[in-house]
A and B are shown apart, each in its own frame.
Chain A
Amino acid sequence: MHRAPATAEELKDYIVCPACDAVWRICEPEEGGRTTCARCHHVLIRPRRGAVLQVVALGLAVMVLLIGALFLPFLEIRIRGLHNASSIFDAALIFSGPELVWLSISVIVFIIGIPMARVGLMTYALLPILLERPVLPGGRTAFRWADTLRPWSMAEIFILGVGVALVKIVDLARVEIGPAFWMFALLVLITLLQDTFTCRYTIWKALDAAPPARRRRKARKAPA
């Protein structure tokens, strides 16, 4: 039998490529650089200065913009004296016919619910690190979920959809862009920035380095 590095102490220096399962000895690049898996070219480590702070700050900005964009008028349409203003909520609720209500719910979830949930989870996981406090209970799971939900957060796709819809309607009516549109556009930009700043390796390292939680609650739960 071969000898594989088996103790936790030995394994600490290695990283497994999540995409292709190749094992590498960890070699951190300089800030701004990146380390990729030599076999499948998956990006493994991409450190940035103040990555945790940026993730939390941008997340809170997203939250503010989302709440604002929800209720302000998004687009307005004028045609021969007739007029209709639509907020994001209206756009989502348009499917609320009896059989299309599920579609309505999923649109809201994809463009508002999941982006908000991601911000909440990330802030919960990472804010204690910034304050140099122990990670809150469930904080690690919260960050994992925030990351798992990333592909299902579709605000940027929605904004492109608005663009396409405008091209289709613009011949037949005058369309005005409301303040919520610009808030949403900014939000998309921030989300894209945030996703580039988020390096899982860096953040897990920060979570690992956080001071250990005091386990008072656990102790009380112990059976008498």
Chain B
Amino acid sequence: MSRPDLHTRAVTARELGLVGCTHCAKVWPAHVEVCGRCGQSLSRRDARALSRVWAWWTIGLIAYIPANLYPMLVTRTLFGTQESTIVGGAVELAHHGAYAVAFIVLFASVAIPLAKFAAIAYLALAVQRGWRGPALRRMQLYELVEFIGRWSMIDVFVVAITASLVQLSVVATVNPGPAALAFALSVIFTMLAARSFDSRQIWDSVADLEAGRHRTQQSSAAGPGGAPTSPVLPPVPPPVSPPVSPRAAE
């Protein structure tokens, strides 16, 4: 690669005493509070962001417990009433020989939610404790968690659709159980936890570690500490061409 280590050379808005809009990407001087273009409130490094992450994370985890203990579906047939939890339903599917479906259910409703909790906790702890590690990998992990988060709602929708379809008087009726609500809440809270996380802090913590000033930076918000001496910023490199664009020469 001809591009020399761009990720270590990048200059952040914080270092320049500027603040960037997280919605429309416009740059403002540090004292501006609300983006003049789109109206988004401009947060510098919000120390409370991590507290919000942990708050949503905790109630998400709490809601996930009843989601597993209570029945997700209540099936009434001619032969009686049957209540099945998430894991119970999967075990039953396996007994009927549908191993593939049982595996998918376990993967989607148990493994993915737990992995999401673990990933968010890891990202938040890595920022708080200043763990060493590749920022780009963490960023990709964060984007994955944000992408997958909403898809967990599928379990709730499947319950709704199954229950609304299978309403056949005495032969069979399926009704949602209390776990459906708990599961939906757990998914929503986890999404909120992921969205409260400020991905810029991943890069801050790693950059601070490299500069050996992790502890001192935590409290000062948009401090100009360690700012580069040159005001000349690197251009946006298009993906294929070399990083120096003709515009930079203006």
Residues of A within 8 A of B (CB): 1-6, 11, 13-27, 29, 33-41, 44-45, 75, 77, 79-80, 82, 84, 86, 90-95, 97, 99-100, 102-103, 106-107, 110-111, 140-141, 143-144, 147-148, 151-152, 154, 157-158, 160-162, 164-165, 167-169, 172-173, 175, 200-201, 204, 207-208
Contacts and interface: CB of A to CB of B under 8 A. Distances in A.
A168 to B, nearest CB: 6
A4 B231 contact: yes
Contact of B171 (A3, A16, A80, A92): A80
B13 A39 contact: no
A151 B27 contact: no
A140 B26 CA distance: 14
Interface of B: 3, 6-7, 10-14, 16-18, 20-29, 37-40, 101, 135-136, 139, 146, 149-151, 153-158, 160-169, 171-172, 175-176, 178, 180-181, 184, 188, 191, 195, 199-200, 202-204, 224, 227-231, 233-239, 243, 245, 247-248
A79 B229 contact: no
Contacts of B158: 161, 164-165, 168
A61 B25 CA distance: 29
Contacts of B24: 144, 200-201, 204
A140 B39 contact: yes
A23 B18 contact: yes
A167 B100 CA distance: 12
Contact of A95 (B20, B37, B165, B176): B176
B151 to A, nearest CB: 6
A154 B161 contact: no
A18 B10 contact: no
A15 B136 CA distance: 20
A19 B176 contact: no
B200 A84 contact: no
B160 A94 contact: yes
18 contacts: A5-B18, A11-B28, A19-B139, A21-B200, A23-B18, A25-B233, A29-B239, A38-B234, A38-B243, A44-B236, A90-B164, A99-B181, A140-B39, A147-B23, A165-B157, A165-B165, A173-B166, A201-B25
Contacts of B26: 11, 15-16, 204
A151 B237 contact: no
Main secondary structure of the interface of A (DSSP, over half): mixed
B161 A161 contact: yes
A24 B156 contact: no
Nearest to A1: B224
A39 B10 contact: yes
A33 B238 contact: yes
Given A4-B18, A16-B21, A44-B25, A91 B164 contact: yes
A200 B183 CA distance: 33
A22 to B, nearest CB: 4
Contacts of B248: 25, 27
Given A20-B202, A160-B154, 12 more contacts: A4-B227, A11-B28, A21-B200, A23-B18, A41-B136, A84-B165, A95-B160, A111-B157, A144-B24, A154-B150, A165-B161, A167-B101
